[in-house]
């Protein structure tokens, strides 16, 4: 083979290779497929969110339980403290029955110094409760007609709507019976009587437990 033929053969082979390269499609490198990894991450995120939500619910529940227990403990502790100081508890109220005797005005002043006032009796149950604890004693309550004869009002200014008077009371027997006692009788309900405010009796103070 002469030189010209060899040159022709090489050129032909070179062109054939170029044509082959042109006909062969190139594959695009799109990188690794991540669909499985993304799905796994999404599941993990959802599980983490659920766990966090449950943890929040548990924490809130624990806080609520602790608050209820603390409130109960505080109230019981307060009641125990007042009980040691001579106070009685009934229907969200505290009552103090004195051991000494004073006129009505001085009795009320003592109640105020204790953060309370002379008792206002609002129900039959309250009246019965106090009468039983008075036993055989007679005590001032927070009812008077000092401002206007025959117009009975409680110490907070409200008018008397239901009274638990003894038979024949109030009678203003001496003409100046402007204050009321819870009197000792065989009847624990109907035992009120009007008396002169200057007489000396024990007294009953009252205050709400929430003010303690």
- Phi then psi for residue 195, to 5 deg, are -145, 160
The mean per-residue pLDDT over the stretch 121-140 comes to 94
Interatomic CA distance for residues 165 and 123, integer angstroms: 13
Strands of 37-185, DSSP E: 87-90, 93-97, 117-118, 139-144, 153-154, 179-182
Residue 132 has pLDDT above 70, yes or no: yes
Contact predicate 182/130, CB 8 Å: yes
For 17-65, the pLDDT digits (tens) are: 555 454 555 555 555 555 566 677 777 778 888 888 888 888 888 898 8
Q: Which helix (H) or strand (E) holds 5?
A: helix 3-23
Least confident of 76-85, 91-100, 119-128: 76-85
- Phi then psi for residue 11, to 5 deg, are -65, -40
- The percentage of the chain sitting over the pLDDT mark of 70, rounded to a whole number, equals 74
- Which residue in 131, 125, 111, 148 sits closest to 184, CA to CA? 131
What is the structure's pLDDT at 23? 52
The mean per-residue pLDDT over the stretch 140-162 comes to 96
Contact predicate 136/196, CB 8 Å: no
The mean per-residue pLDDT over the stretch 166-184 comes to 90
Contact predicate 135/157, CB 8 Å: no
Residue 76 has pLDDT above 70, yes or no: no
Top-confidence range, 65-79, 93-107, 162-176:
93-107
What is the structure's pLDDT at 129? 96
What is the structure's pLDDT at 212? 44
- The percentage of the chain sitting over the pLDDT mark of 90, rounded to a whole number, equals 51
Q: Name the pTM for this structure.
A: 0.63
What is the structure's pLDDT at 171? 92
Q: Which domains, from first to last, does the chain contain?
A: 98-207 (3.10.100.10)
What is the structure's pLDDT at 209? 84
What is the structure's pLDDT at 56? 85
Residue 211 has pLDDT above 50, yes or no: no
What is the structure's pLDDT at 98? 97
């Amino acid at each position: 083979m002469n030189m010209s033929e060899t040159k022709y053969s090489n050129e032909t082979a070179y062109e054939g290779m170029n044509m082959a390269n042109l006909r062969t499609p190139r594959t695009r490198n799109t990188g690794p497929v991540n669909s499985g990894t993304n799905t796994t991450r999404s599941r993990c995120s959802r599980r983490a969110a659920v766990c966090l939500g449950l943890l929040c619910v548990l924490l809130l529940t624990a806080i609520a339980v602790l608050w209820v227990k603390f409130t109960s403990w505080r109230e019981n502790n307060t009641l125990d403290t007042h009980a040691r100081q001579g106070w009685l508890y009934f229907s969200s109220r505290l009552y103090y029955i004195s051991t000494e005797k004073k006129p009505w005005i001085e009795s009320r002043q003592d109640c105020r110094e204790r953060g309370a006032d002379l008792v206002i009796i609002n129900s039959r149950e309250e009246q019965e409760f106090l009468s039983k604890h008075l036993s055989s004693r007679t005590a001032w309550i927070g009812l008077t007609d000092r401002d206007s004869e025959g117009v009975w009002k409680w110490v907070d200014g409200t008018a008397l709507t239901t009274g638990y008077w003894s038979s024949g009371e109030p009678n203003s027997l001496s003409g100046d019976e402007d204050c009321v006692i819870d009197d000792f009788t065989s009847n624990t309900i109907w035992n009120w009587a009007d008396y002169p405010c200057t007489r000396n009796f024990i007294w009953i103070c009252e205050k709400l437990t929430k003010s303690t």
